[in-house]
Amino acid sequence: MTLGTPSWPPPPQEALSGAQVRRLTRRATEAHGGGHLSALIGEFYSVVVAGAIAWLVVIGAVQALGIQTGGEWSQSRVDPGWLGLAVLVLGLGVILSLFARLGPMSIGAGHATWWLPMPADRAGLLRPRLVVITAVALLLGAAVGGAAGAALAGGADLGSALGLAMPAGALGSAVAALACVTGQIRLGAGRPRRVRPLVVAGDGLVVAGPVLVLLAALTGAGELDLLGALGPATVVLAAVTAGLVLWCAHGLERLSGQELRQRGAIGGHAAGSIQSLDTRELGRALSVPGLPRTRRRSAAFRWVKGPALALVTGDATLMLRNPRHLIQLGIGAAVALVPLVAGWPPGLAVVGYLIGGYLAALATGEGARLAEMSPVLDRSFPLEAVVVRRVRALWPLAVLSLWALVVAAAWGWVYGDPGGWLLMGLVAAPTFAAGVLRGAYRQPPDWSRPLLPGPFGPVPPGIVTAFSRGPDVVVICLIPLLVAVLATGPTAVMVFVQIGASAVALAIGCHVPAAPRSPHGPPRTEGN
């Protein structure tokens, strides 16, 4: 045989099995790593410490003022059963939506390109993915189950409630995920119509969760006993989960290469979005194309009279034309309002406000995120870079001011002094706009440095710090408002302090870092 001329077809003993190909790839990847897990842990540590410091500042201020934060679980206007049901509905919705879109067995685009043309058995290549999906589903389910258990316990008999709710929630979520994967492997391969109902059902459940609690609180719904049903449900779900895993494992060879490539592209897009903490980009990656491919007619944009209005119009159009963004604003408001309407302690109202507010803020920042990905977009109009950044803040600022007024009105209804709360909410709104802008324009992690081992493969150093850019400004610069909610109410002093903090947040969010300079060239002079 001539050197360099392969025999064709290769003898079976020379071809690698799927498992061997997978192991070879993993070893080669690990050999090019070089980072240490301790670095990743260190990053987590610093972010957690920063968050803890912010929380301690709030608590310290509250204690220094010597005021009771008040509020007891016993004052809740929502029966724990309804709350537990809502958490389960929401959690199942998230998992159903996620896995219906990602499944089956999404492998990265690179793996699809290099693995699939090989004669290796597909089951050997994909089996670990099935294990990972099951594990992730179980972990997510455990979180959902834990949250539901905590809600059901309602502050009493937490241990027994968690003991029942966690396994039931975990297994229920795993079943939801595996049902999606199985459906696509065994039934829906190449037939998106069979997957779409699962996606719609998942989205519906996501919306239904918070709405359920709001309705239960507003209508004063009676007691709902869920604990008794959890034991039998756990047994049934465990059996269904085991059956689905086996059924999935036997269907792996049936997956077509085309399907794996398509899903791999979606998975890669989704993974990138998660790493950049971009829920909208994640939503787009996971969505069955939601935008109409053509419009009956194009808008004329006659009101656009210059570059600033052009930028704002682009940002507004991006948000208003995607129903997902509007739903996200609504869910954000629901998350912020539920603790208030349900009569929960102010601490939970604060957490709901922070989470709901940032969720809503993310819905307004797509223009900025696109511009960070494609720098030409920000450079296509005759505006200074710093002016572009300020203009990009206008649309989030407008939307989030309205959003904050809605939430603040609820504060006024619950805590009294509606005028003060409306003012406080209004002056606090810019912090969310600043946070979403800071998050949108943050530098991506440096993938060229030695990678660190992560739970889902190698990750670049600095990734945790990158995650925290945006939320950090929101948490820090909302401290005056948090203190007002927890202790003082919307006093004139707190309003002024919040105005100052919001101004600082906007300055940070609109900051444009200095341009990189030539390391060896002559000093560059400013243009005149």
How many Å apart are CA 223 and CA 220, to the nearest integer? Answer: 10
Rounded to a whole number of angstroms, the minimum distance from the CB of residue 301 to another protein is 5
301, 447, 456, 496: which one contacts another protein (CB under 8 A)?
Answer: 301
Does 314 interact with another protein (rule: CB under 8 A)?
Answer: yes
Question: CA end-to-end span of the chain, whole Å?
Answer: 71
Does 307 interact with another protein (rule: CB under 8 A)?
Answer: yes
66, 117, 228, 522: which one contacts another protein (CB under 8 A)?
Answer: 522
- In the block, residue with structure tokens 């842990």: 41
27, 32, 193, 520: which one contacts another protein (CB under 8 A)?
Answer: 520
Q: Crossing angle, helix 80-102 and helix 158-182, to 10 degrees?
A: 30
Which residues between 360 and 419 bind another protein (CB under 8 A)? 367, 370, 374-377, 379-387
Q: 452: which strand partners?
A: 459
- In the block, residue with structure tokens 């360099």: 4
C-beta closer to another protein: residue 115 or 441? 441
How many Å apart are CA 149 and CA 168, to the nearest integer? Answer: 10
C-beta closer to another protein: residue 37 or 386? 386
Other beta carbons less than 10 A from residue 124's beta carbon: 18
SS3 459: strand
Does 445 interact with another protein (rule: CB under 8 A)?
Answer: no
What is the enclosing helix (H) or strand (E) of 170?
A: helix 158-182
* Cα 326–Cα 328–Cα 331 angle in degrees, nearest 5: 115
**Cα separations (Å) of 301 from 304, 305, 367, 383, 451?**
6, 9, 17, 19, 46
- Choices 237-245, 291-299, 397-405, 433-441; region in contact with another protein by CB under 8 A: 291-299
C-beta closer to another protein: residue 117 or 519? 519
- Choices 59-67, 148-156, 186-194, 286-294; region in contact with another protein by CB under 8 A: 286-294
C-beta closer to another protein: residue 223 or 384? 384
- Choices 1-9, 94-102, 312-320, 341-349; region in contact with another protein by CB under 8 A: 312-320
Amino acid identity at 20: Q
12, 66, 220, 519: which one contacts another protein (CB under 8 A)?
Answer: 519
Which residues between 6 and 35 bind another protein (CB under 8 A)? none
Does 513 interact with another protein (rule: CB under 8 A)?
Answer: no
Rounded to a whole number of angstroms, the minimum distance from the CB of residue 269 to another protein is 12
Dihedral sign from CA coordinates of 418, 360, 331, 310: positive
SS3 448: coil
How many Å apart are CA 163 and CA 155, to the nearest integer? Answer: 14
C-beta closer to another protein: residue 28 or 376? 376
Which residues between 265 and 284 bind another protein (CB under 8 A)? 284
DSSP 68-103: -----GGG-SS-HHHHHHHHHHHHHHHHHHHHHHH-
Q: Could you list the residues that contact another protein (CB under 8 A)?
A: 284, 289, 291-301, 304-307, 309-311, 313-314, 317-318, 321-322, 367, 370, 374-377, 379-387, 512, 515-522, 524-528
